[in-house]
Amino acid sequence: MRLRVIGRLLQIQRVLVRHGLDAIILQTHLFRPLRFFFYLSPATWFERQRGGTRGERIRLALEELGPIFVKFGQALSTRRDLLPSDIADELEKLQDRVPPFPGAEARAIVERAYGRPVSEVFDQFDETPLAAASVAQVHAARLRSGEEVVVKVIRPGVREKIERDLEVMYVLAALARDYAAEGHRLRPVEVVREYEKTILDELDLMREAANAAQLKRNFEGNELLHVPAVYWDYCRPEAMVMERIHGIIISDMEELRRRGTNIQRLAENGVTIFFTQVLRHNFFHADMHPGNIFVQLDDPEYPKYCAVDFGIMGTLTARDQHYLAENFLAFFERDYHRIAQLHVDSGWVPADTRVEELEAAVRTVCEPIFNKPLSEISFGQVLLRLFETARRFNMKVQPQLILLQKTLLQIEGLGRQLYPELDLWKTAQPILREWAADRLSGRTLALELRRQLPDVSEALRALPQVLQQFVQQASDGKFRLKVEQAGIAELREELRASARRRDSTVVSAAALLGGLVWIAIGASPWPGVVLCVAGLSGALLARGK
């Protein structure tokens, strides 16, 4: 299994060398000594891509490396403030212009999913895709009943590629956890585990259809966002059918302006939609790159968002939602003491953190960005400074919030493209205040009590029986109180892993030493060489355990 991971790492470096991205290898320690092997390999030099701009070579390398790398490029493409324009322009093509797979293959997948010919399901099916992305591609079609629809089809073999790269990510995350100075604070294994759930869920189109239906229900009657209808009779895990929407892709600023779109209102509505999803519905679209957002201009003065691709949706626990919203509200009110106290109360920083010191650190980062338009603020830079603050106070990464943080960065990047003068605070603050007022209203408290009343009633009904069993066990001397110390299981597993690594290292060292001795005194050196290779391989594998 480890050899498969090493093989994939070598393949990644080979792709980088072939596309002339040698600097990435030189700047990392990932099998760095082996870079000379690729430079000397005739296959690498014959295949080496000498032409093309820097941005083109980066895009082509990400496409070749597969879905996870394409998604990384999509996320970066929204941050033009952090990238040179030539790279941003090329990465933008990853949003919906990934090389498609053959339309005939898509037709075959659809026919296998439905168990009958495409002609019996659709009146028309266009084999030329409308758009192609890293996990799936979309084809235009028309149902036999006459509705215009799109058919989304999962790429063949994509699950195997994703699972292989996830395995690589787990190995690298385990190495970072065990050997990096910041490993335990950054929780890399938990971060990869959270990402694994997200990316594997995206491969089930029945789940995506359910996500779309939920989001549509949440915004029923709302004029800000249109969600296409799902045709459930035609949905399968590997193929799904949705209403075809017609609109302008949100990154086409030239066409939006030509049509007289109220750009400021469009940008402000985007912020409103985001906070409504997070605070009111606790169900948010977490893949908000421009390729997934269109604009309908029935009335250019009141533009309407249209969302597509619902494979990645985010939710928060009630606790995280509460602390997050309170942090937002305190941030907009510049109540830095409240922010610091919330971080302690939520457990995001150690309990012994001095609130006054954390308050001063947050104030130093946040105060300079107020009263500035979005065009003069880079949240990317603010986040970097906040990460420095987090390191100082030993703040642990919260994997469950990573989707939200990623979506926030995408929203900021989108807002920067649409309307750089957007006043984010002015737009978001009323929504947060309304959330806070509604949360404390008598109606909300009454609804919460009503929702919990059956559970409370059931618990009260069972209480006499529980008390009777407790008294009986106590009188018979059979009562036992089970106490679990938090972290003991993790500590035991870490000790076992440490012992396994120690034993493997001892065996590997013995093999290496034996090989060296054999080479020194043996008639034939080859058994010694084999022992040395086995010892070195064992040492590498031990580090990965």
For residue 532, list its beta bridge partners: none
d(CA 227, CA 219): 8
Nearest CA to 361 out of 337, 333, 327 is that of: 337
| Residue 79 amino acid letter | R
End-to-end alpha-carbon separation of the chain, Å?
A: 11
d(CA 133, CA 141): 18
| Residue 442 amino acid letter | G
- Coil/strand/helix, residue 273: helix
d(CA 496, CA 538): 18
Tokens of 349: 């920083």
d(CA 22, CA 2): 25
Of the residues 81, 96, 165, 287, only one is catalytic, namely: 287
User: What is the DSSP track for 169-228?
Assistant: HHHHHHHHHHHSTTHHHH-HHHHHHHHHHHHHHTT-HHHHHHHHHHHHHHTTT-SSEE-P
User: In 235-317, which ranges are continuous DSSP H helix?
Assistant: 253-258, 263-275
Distances (CA, A) of 75 to 71, 168, 266, 289, 414: 6, 20, 21, 7, 11
Sign of the torsion angle spanned by Cα atoms 409, 410, 411, 415: positive
User: In 419-545, which ranges are continuous DSSP H helix?
Assistant: 424-439, 442-476, 488-521, 526-544
| Residue 502 amino acid letter | R
**Residue 287 appears among annotated catalytic residues:** yes
d(CA 97, CA 76): 15
Alpha-carbon dihedral angle through residues 447, 449, 454, 458, given to the nearest 10 degrees = 170
Alpha-carbon dihedral angle through residues 207, 212, 215, 216, given to the nearest 10 degrees = -140
d(CA 61, CA 21): 9
Q: Which residues of 40-55 are buried (b: 16+ CB within 10 A; e: fewer)?
A: eeeebeeeeeeeeeeb
Sign of the torsion angle spanned by Cα atoms 503, 505, 507, 513: negative
- What residues are annotated to the active site? 287
